[in-house]
Homo-oligomer: A and B are copies of this chain.
Amino acid sequence: MSTQSCPFARTERSTPNRVPKRVTFERDPVFAIIDEAPIVHVGFAMPNGQPFVIPTIHARKDDRLYFHGSTQSRLLQAIASGQQICCTFTFLDGIVAARSAMHHSMNYRSVVAFGTGQLVEDETERQEAFRRTVEKLIPGRWENCRQPNESEAKVTAIAALDIQEATLKVRNGPVADIESDLSGPHWAGVIPTRLSYDSPQPDSNLANDQTIPDHINNLVGGPSASRH
């Protein structure tokens, strides 16, 4: 069995204190969430303890996440510094309207991943990270756009973060009211939610006869759009 197919280690920081039945450490379902999530919330702390949480775009290869940006950004600097980083990927899947105020909840899937990073200097890996980032945003896009020239590549920093532990927590399913509330007068149910992609808005500078390409239509009709 390769390391890649083993679950992530269950450590003190990666084990939530609450509702253990909702938790898994298996790599495949963790990676599925990371790959489906269009954005990640990256957490880091300054030396004085001040936390920051910054939303950004990510890409993944095996246990490694890639981030891109300016070397001036706090986020890139924090990852490049090698300090501990927390990356959280969240889907809101539904609003759970229970009969009791107490049992209102949300259906969700969220991955909390811990790791440390560094700047990527190797040009081949940098190119691969650029490609994966564009492909993460829109699968099939890399071969359908003008790829970075030397000066564009030069101004873009790439940082890599190696996931040390990761935890997937899921709440799904119906309302969980207590027995004595079931006969009460209140409506109860789940309102499913999802990130939906609407019709593409072509750029005003496009030639009039340019149709929307397949890779864009696939994004709109893709897995996130048809989840429910």
Interface string of A123-157 (1 = CB under 8 A from B): 00000001000100110011011111000100010
**Minimum CB–CB distance for A152 against chain B, Å:** 4
Interface string of A26-51 (1 = CB under 8 A from B): 00000000000011011111110111
**Minimum CB–CB distance for A99 against chain B, Å:** 6
**A216 interface hit (Cβ, 8 Å):** yes
| A190→B201 contact, CB < 8 A | yes
**A97 interface hit (Cβ, 8 Å):** yes
| A52→B212 contact, CB < 8 A | no
| A206→B189 contact, CB < 8 A | yes
Interface residues on A, range: 35 or more
Question: Which residues of B sit under 8 angstroms from A141, Cβ to Cβ?
Answer: 97, 101, 104
**Minimum CB–CB distance for A78 against chain B, Å:** 9
A-B contacts, 27 of them at CB < 8 A, read A17-B73, A17-B74, A18-B72, A18-B73, A41-B55, A41-B90, A43-B51, A45-B50, A49-B83, A53-B112, A57-B106, A98-B145, A100-B148, A102-B156, A138-B191, A144-B187, A189-B202, A189-B212, A189-B216, A190-B201, A191-B197, A191-B216, A193-B196, A193-B197, A194-B195, A195-B195, A198-B228
Given A73-B17, A216-B97, A144-B186 contact (CB < 8 Å)? yes
Further 10 A-B residue pairs, CB within 8 A, beyond A43-B51, A45-B50, A55-B88? A18-B73, A38-B92, A42-B53, A49-B83, A55-B90, A101-B130, A104-B141, A191-B198, A192-B198, A192-B201
In whole angstroms, how far apart are the Cα atoms of A52 and B174 in the complex? Answer: 29
